[in-house]
Chains A and B, each alone.
Chain A
Amino acid sequence: MDLFRRIFGGTGEEVPPEQPEKTPEKSKPPSKIQTAPGLEEKVAEESKTESGDTEPLDDGVTSEGDAPQVQDPATRPVGPPPPPPNRKFVPDGVTQPLNANALSVGRTEHITIGLASDVGMVRNNNQDAAFSMYCSGRSADDLPDLGLFVVADGMGGHNDGEKASAITTRTLASKFTKQIYMPIFASDNEDADQQPTTEALIEAVHEANREVLRYVPEGGTTITAIAIIGDLAHIVHVGDSRAYIMTKEGGIEQLTRDHSLVQRLIELDQLTPEEAEIHPQKNVLYRALGQNETLEVDTSSRRLPAGSNLLICSDGLWGLVEEEELYDITTNNVDPQQACDKLVALANTRGGADNITAIILKIS
């Protein structure tokens, strides 16, 4: 049953007789109710007890001045459920039709995680760094699930690469947890100085950049990180590590854009993706941490539908494993750890020329 009718009551004493027939069961709201049974029960209970206490009110025209002035949160049986979904945006000044399918409440039911990082078959040190953190809870506080997942691919001789990627993941985790997750744990969303999520992510990357410049001046690193709050994924990205989202309906989609010379040439139609794969300068990045004080950072946000998979990986994986294979191995394996291990193994059978790192999140 529609949430709206549950809240306002649903016996329909004032509903014109023909209207309930216009509300077939298919107008049932989507995943919100299904994915958050606790919430639904709570709402239903509240609405039951409240409507029991409610005095029926005179339904005639309220004339000026005689409207009730006291707050009365009573729930009352009222009109028909919302009309069918309408995806169009209506300009200001127009009555907004309801969208029955939109806006599910932000909670994912379950996330499982896999992580693998391997030196590969050629290098003798692993300059990649990976970080994974996830917490969830169920309580009356209704706190969202929180997660932070980071892949960084370090560059530079004399162990500078691994130092740069390690400092970067650690700094990002520390800054972001403090700025965003701690206030959420404290249930504090009303501090006007609270930073928006992506702003905090960008600032954390800038902080990591300063740390790399300071402690590993000869090193550099990429970073691709996903912060999860409820069912929203916030992506922050510099360099040529990648994040992908995979869904049954949508297939595989790259969420990040490589900051590489060849990617720019592809975007300008000066190079084909096939030419890029064998280009002598395919490893040239134009943006990375540890290069300069100023750093432009890409961000985006995505809502995660149930059944979707996220993959974050370094170029050691995507350089050797085709997108189709990434999709198949990630979606066909129920266990994300197994999927990560298989991806790494596949890259190694193809030479493992670089360090290989993969983090997979499965959202159910």
Chain B
Amino acid sequence: MPETTQFGTAEDNYGDEGALKPNTILINRYKVLGTLGGGGQGAVYQCRDLNFPDAKRLVALKEMHYPGDASMRATTMQTFQREANILATLAHPAIPKIFDFFDQNNRAYLVMEYINGNDLENLLTKTKELPLDKIVEWAIDLCDVLHYLHSHSPDPIIFRDVKPANIMIDSLGKVRLIDFGIAKIFVSGVKNTMIGTEGYSAPEQYKGDVNPLSDIYSLGATLHHIVTRKDPRLEPPFSFSERPLRQFNEKVSPGLEAVINKSLETEPANRFSSCEEMKQSLLAVRYNPAAAQAQSVPGAGAQTGMVGTDFFDGEDLFGSIEPRWKFKTEDEIRGGPTSFRGLAFVGSYDTNVWAIDIESGDFRWKYATNGGIAVAPTVDEGSKLVLFGSEDHSFTALDYHTGRISWSYTANDRIRCTARVAHDHVFFGSDDGRVYALVSGTGRYLWEYDMGGPVRGQPYVTRDLIIVGAETGDLVGLELSGQRKWSYRTRRAINAAPLVDEIEGICYIGSFDGYMYALDASSGYSMWRYRTNGPIISAASLANDMLIFGSADGTLYAINSESSKEKWRFSIEKPIVSSPLIHEGKVYFGGTDSYFYCLELKTGKELWKFQTEDSITSAPYVTENVILFGSMDRTLYALPLVD
């Protein structure tokens, strides 16, 4: 906490706070009219110069306290006088003139030009927004004055303390740099735990290394603050890069953003080499309507095939790579594909499950039900069966090789829930509100559990629990015997499949209420929830501590699975319903904007996208160096995996 320094109040001239009372006259010349700012260590007074009895000449008086310690006092006094002498020789329109300096009552005083205006700190609180073109002009002038100081001979003068409170905008709208670091001579070391940091200082300043590049950092920090209006003193130190300028102020041009970012580089060597260089860069990004227009050229037009982006030139690396094959069914493909022993299986709303050779894309067999198929087929590797439900209420098991029916089971309503095979059983839900457990090899009925509303999200089966959600908004953990162990209620329907991190025992589930929830998988107690702006239908995918999922708000989110802190997000213009797939450092997903996307897992940067002719609603699937996904354009696509 800031500790208030107490000092002698014996003198009549000082008020309760130790500040000079109005009408006090110093060295028979300066009459105090009032306090301009500060208090304690850094008080600044407005005074009238009595040497000019006929003119009301105003000056500013900066007051600093000498330390109580006698030996310290002598050194401080010497330093003060030396620095004051230097300041008195400076001549630059942005630097207030120093008229005089003197000591009185154990305090040092600088007599300076009085500036009528507001400091930037003040302007920040008084205004909602400062015009960017003005900010750039001020920044150019600040570079100019800092360059003047840094070019001082014989030794460069480092300002050390560039921050909004030290920058005045005078009555003519011109920048004036006030409060030179001279005050720092008077501050003695503080030992107690303190809260709050200077916020604008460069990292190297904390190692005692101060050079012209430190002033560049502080100027960048100041610009960052006034542009984003995020006070760095309230944020972790040196965290400007975590608050991208354009995210907080969309009017900032990429050019200006680049200049400010460069001045804020942690390593001094990566910043501008001088204020003059920074000034030249700012001159280049001065508001210029023609240039601004040229920067917002829209991306490549819509066409089928790979489309290059800002980050990645698709043309070069992919050329005109075509899908390895496409397979057209007779109606929409709403559920994802799966595969087994060289065959891909996909259900179509044309009532068929199709088996296609993964190598050639050739048709192998199809099996027709009496209703559309809206789910992804599931393979039971043990019994070599392909299992799926249909809108005709049936749940069917086919021999993977021949497509011949092995067994079938009928629910009381349509089945829009992809099945899960585990423990030699198959678990699936139906719109009749039940979760069914059958022996996967034979179809023998084991139990059913009444969820009270349609069950559409694929169940997740752990070693000892079946976790499944329903349109009632309930998520339940069922024991393998079909007994309920726990239940958790979200605010709206659950249509998504739960994902369980079996190492940590955490279950992730998205709901129509827009939240992604993390629950203790063994008890159902909730740990955190993360809010999106639309229903979550997409299941989450997990890689290390990155949880990735889409929302109907059109955004794919990547958050830390432990803390629920956002790592990155990627937005498209339409809802994301498809569950993302993580494979070798990349994220694949389809959008209802008809594109299939590939992003870099770490950063969320778009690597490429591929356009189909209709929405993509189902999860992709990777096998044998191809990515399979279905689109509502009726087609199953097989794209080659490219490194």
Q: Do A and B bind each other?
A: yes
A285-B196 Cα distance, complex, nearest whole Å: 6
Q: How far is the CB of B80 from chain A (nearest CB, A)?
A: 22
* A162-201 interface bits toward B, Cβ cutoff 8 Å, 1 = contact, 0 = none: 0000000000000000000000100001111111111100
A60 contacts across to B, CB distance below 8 A: 442
A92 contacts B619, CB within 8 Å? yes
User: Could you list 16 examples of A-B contacts with CB < 8 Å?
Assistant: A3-B480, A4-B423, A4-B480, A29-B463, A82-B423, A91-B622, A93-B418, A96-B461, A98-B462, A103-B465, A261-B237, A284-B194, A284-B197, A286-B196, A299-B563, A301-B518
Contact of B425 among A68, A69, A78 (CB under 8 A): A78
Closest A residue by C-beta to B461 = A96
B479 contacts across to A, CB distance below 8 A: 7, 43
A103 contacts B582, CB within 8 Å? no
A230-B525 Cα distance, complex, nearest whole Å: 10
B463 contacts A264, CB within 8 Å? no
Closest B residue by C-beta to A301 = B527
* B503-517 interface bits toward A, Cβ cutoff 8 Å, 1 = contact, 0 = none: 111100000010001
The count of residues in chain B whose C-beta lies closer than 8 Å to any C-beta of chain A is: 111
Question: Considering the complex, which residues of chain A in the window 305-342 have a beta carbon less than 8 Å from any beta carbon of chain B?
Answer: 315
A125 contacts across to B, CB distance below 8 A: none
Residue from B3, B379, B525 whose CB has the most chain A CB atoms within 10 Å: B525
A102-B542 Cα distance, complex, nearest whole Å: 16
> Within 8 Å of chain A (Cβ to Cβ): is B35?
no
Question: Considering the complex, which residues of chain B in the window 422-472 have a beta carbon less than 8 Å from any beta carbon of chain A?
Answer: 422-425, 439, 441-448, 450, 458, 460-465
Among A109-117, A242-250, A288-296, the stretch that binds chain B is A288-296
B523 contacts A79, CB within 8 Å? no
B425 contacts across to A, CB distance below 8 A: 78-79
B563 contacts A67, CB within 8 Å? no
A94 contacts B621, CB within 8 Å? yes
Contact A229 B423, CB 8 Å, known A92-B497, A196-B518: no
Residue from A91, A100, A218, A220 whose CB has the most chain B CB atoms within 10 Å: A91
Question: Considering the complex, which residues of chain A in the window 38-70 have a beta carbon less than 8 Å from any beta carbon of chain B?
Answer: 43, 46-47, 50, 57-65, 67-69
A65-B529 Cα distance, complex, nearest whole Å: 42
Contact A294 B234, CB 8 Å, known A92-B336, A103-B522, A286-B197: yes
Among B146-154, B356-364, B404-412, the stretch that binds chain A is B404-412
Closest B residue by C-beta to A199 = B528
A315-B444 Cα distance, complex, nearest whole Å: 63
Tell me the A residues contacting B by CB distance below 8 Å.
Answer: 3-4, 7-8, 29, 32, 43, 46-47, 50, 57-65, 67-69, 71-76, 78-80, 82, 87, 89, 91-96, 98-100, 102-106, 144, 153, 155-157, 160, 184, 189-199, 218-220, 229-230, 232, 234, 259, 261, 264-265, 268, 270-271, 275, 279-281, 283-288, 290-292, 294, 298-301, 303, 315
A61 contacts B504, CB within 8 Å? no
A155 contacts B192, CB within 8 Å? yes
B448 contacts A96, CB within 8 Å? no
Q: How far is the CB of A283 from chain B (nearest CB, A)?
A: 4
A106 contacts across to B, CB distance below 8 A: 505, 520, 522-523
> Within 8 Å of chain A (Cβ to Cβ): is B543?
yes
B206 contacts A271, CB within 8 Å? yes
Tell me the B residues contacting A by CB distance below 8 Å.
Answer: 1, 3, 189, 191-197, 203-204, 206-207, 234-239, 266, 336-338, 376, 378-382, 394, 406-410, 412, 418, 420-425, 439, 441-448, 450, 458, 460-465, 473-474, 479-483, 486-491, 497, 499-506, 513, 517-518, 520-529, 539, 541-543, 562-564, 579, 581-583, 619-622
B406 contacts A197, CB within 8 Å? no
A175-B439 Cα distance, complex, nearest whole Å: 48
Residue from A50, A93, A104, A292 whose CB has the most chain B CB atoms within 10 Å: A93
A144-B485 Cα distance, complex, nearest whole Å: 13
Contact of B194 among A94, A98, A105, A283 (CB under 8 A): A283
